[in-house]
Amino acid sequence: MKSVAIIGAGITGLTAAFYLKRQGVPVTVYEAGRRVGGVIQTIRKDGFLAEFGPNTILETSPKIAQLVRDAGLESRKLATDPKAEARFVVRYGRPIEMPGKPLGFITTPLFTAKAKLAVLREPFIKSRRDGVEESIGQFVVRRFNQEFLDHAIDALVAGIYAGDPNKLSLPHAFPKLKALEDNYGSMIKGQIFGARDRKKSGEVAKDRAAKFSFDEGLQVLPDTLAAQLADSLKLNTPVTKLTQTAKGWRVTTAHGEAEFDAVIYCGTAYKLAELQIDGRAALPRSQGEEAAQQRRPTTTFSEISYPPVSAVVLGFRREDVAHSCQGFGMLIPKIEGFKILGSIFSSALFPNRAPAGHVTLTSYIGGARYPELGLLPPEMLVEATLADLRRLLGVKGQPVFTHTKTWSHAIPQYNVGYGKYRELLKDIEAKAPHLFFAGHYRDGVSLGDSIVSGVNIAERVKKTF
């Protein structure tokens, strides 16, 4: 029976292992840390439930719902409260609800008349066909205007990547927006006329996808998958070297070595840069430096930026927050001058996220915008977050619950030029048969993207056997 080693017990690795094992393929999952789930991390304390990474899963693909069913979690799945659909963007120092319908866009105070006219003009802007790779910032200014970038897209980019719109690559970070212009000549035309194609594929646009979690938070999913893997999961076991053999791959850890027919790397890009891969074991040592280079093809991935982000979860008495906090949350453009990137109204999304008469707010700070703030000590993170929430949401007094989590390497930035890393991954796979790569550094940074990546890589590996 063919066997597979999987490096990394984040959601991509766990999903791939779960499906391979269901198909009768022996798997071993190596995780360097002491827990599974990667950035998915949930705690419950004093009646509050806190998420330290993502708060919801976007059901953008039928493969996501299928995983929930296959894992036996359908009964524990929670949809977001329909009353919490409102999203807010900060302008003029206050959160303003984003319009949900075309008429609302005309009347919203979020944008000036000039920005609204730019949106109406967008279908008539000529498409760019010269092959130059644009940043999302350049794309938005070209098709809309600077105001739309500064007051809308900058906030959106902070919410997805904690990134800089003037650095993030349009085709790599936002490929669907690029496809709308390429296929329909316009983002607005694409939204209208592309609906039929999206329906055929079963995929849903992220802004329209259903959002869900579980009764005890997102940690339920990786914990459930890990439990079904049982002894196939090896925690506290970092992989230090991969060596190609005549039949497959030898995996080296601090605890020893093991032979496998295939290996899937589902960790991070910066850890991949540290992994020694000897894919040319038969290469003569006499070739010196060339041979050494062949054994370390991954060092380039250390160039990928992973700015730090801290999650600050605060619980308040309901009467101490002036804003209704009925909605998904608020995003904050850099131009508004606040330190936090945005806040999720966590207790409005799902039941039992806060005790009766209380609210839970999950805020994020740092990212490419303010990386130095993302590494502040916990007490300073709370202080900075409180200062902004007092101005934005009318918070008074002190929180009755606080918890912070700092991710020193949070989200890979798909900046302009990111294509060279994806091409390098393809090249390594071509030269090192039965070595595969999947995860957020390759297939998209959202939780849904990572799940789909795990499903797809499992299918791909199974087909090679």
DSSP state of 81: P
Residue 201, pLDDT above cutoff 70: no
Banded pLDDT at 297 (limits 50, 70, 90):
low
Superfamily the domain 4-38+220-302+414-464 falls into: FAD/NAD(P)-binding domain (3.50.50.60)
Average pLDDT, integer, range 183-205: 77
Residue 303, pLDDT above cutoff 70: yes
Q: What is the pLDDT of residue 101?
A: 82
Lowest mean pLDDT among 89-103, 128-142, 250-264, 292-306: 292-306
Contacts of 393 (CB under 8 A, 6+ apart): 95, 321, 322, 323, 325, 343, 361
- Which helix (H) or strand (E) segment holds residue 247: the answer is none
Q: What is the pLDDT of residue 465?
A: 83
Class of domain 111-202: mainly alpha
DSSP state of 150: I
Q: What is the mean pLDDT of the chain?
A: 93
Distances in Å between the Cα of 161 and the Cα atoms of 174, 212, 242, 290 are 11, 20, 31, 37
- In the sheet with 77-79, reading across from the earlier edge strand, the strands are 57-58, 211-214, 77-79
The token pair at 191 is: 């939204």
Higher pLDDT, 174 or 298: 174
Identify the residue whose tokens are 């303010």.
370
**Exposure pattern of 246-285 as b/e (b: 16+ CB <10 Å)?**
eebbbbebeeeeeebbbbbbbbbbbbbeebebbbbeeeee
In the chain, which segments carry CATH 1.10.3110.10? 111-202
Identify the residue whose tokens are 């730019």.
118
User: What are the tens digits of pLDDT across the range 368-394?
Assistant: 999 999 999 999 999 999 999 999 999
DSSP state of 164: -
The token pair at 229 is: 């893997």
Q: Yes or no: is domain 44-83+306-407 CATH 3.90.660.20?
A: yes
In the chain, which segments carry CATH 3.90.660.20? 44-83+306-407
CA distance 403 to 389: 16
Q: Which amino acid is at 298?
A: T
Banded pLDDT at 102 (limits 50, 70, 90):
confident
In the chain, which segments carry CATH 3.50.50.60? 4-38+220-302+414-464
Average pLDDT, integer, range 57-77: 97
- In the sheet with 309-317, reading across from the earlier edge strand, the strands are 94-97, 87-91, 329-331, 340-344, 358-366, 309-317, 401-407
Question: Mutual orientation of helices 11-22 and 62-70 as an angle, nearest 10°?
Answer: 60
Secondary structure (3-state) at 86: coil
Residue 146, pLDDT above cutoff 80: yes
Residue 32, pLDDT above cutoff 90: yes
Percent of the chain with pLDDT over 70: 94
Contact 66, 268 (CB under 8 A): no
User: What are the tens digits of pLDDT across the range 396-431?
Assistant: 999 999 999 999 999 999 999 999 999 999 999 999
Q: Which amino acid is at 211?
A: K
Q: Smallest Cα–Cα separation from 35: which of 61, 14, 62, 65?
A: 14
Banded pLDDT at 282 (limits 50, 70, 90):
very low
Banded pLDDT at 296 (limits 50, 70, 90):
low
**Whether the predicted model's global pTM rises above the 0.85 cut:** yes
Q: Which amino acid is at 386?
A: L
Secondary structure (3-state) at 49: strand
Residue 281, pLDDT above cutoff 60: no
Q: What is the pLDDT of residue 209?
A: 83
Banded pLDDT at 284 (limits 50, 70, 90):
very low
User: What are the tens digits of pLDDT across the range 316-363?
Assistant: 999 999 999 999 999 999 999 999 999 999 999 999 999 999 999 999
Q: Residue 241 phi/psi, 5° resolution?
A: -155, 145
Distances in Å between the Cα of 22 and the Cα atoms of 60, 133, 375, 456 are 23, 41, 41, 14
The token pair at 342 is: 């945005």
The token pair at 152 is: 């809308």
Identify the residue whose tokens are 């802007």.
125
Q: Residue 166 phi/psi, 5° resolution?
A: -85, -5
DSSP state of 38: T
Q: What is the pLDDT of residue 61?
A: 95
- Which helix (H) or strand (E) segment holds residue 75: the answer is none
CA distance 335 to 378: 25
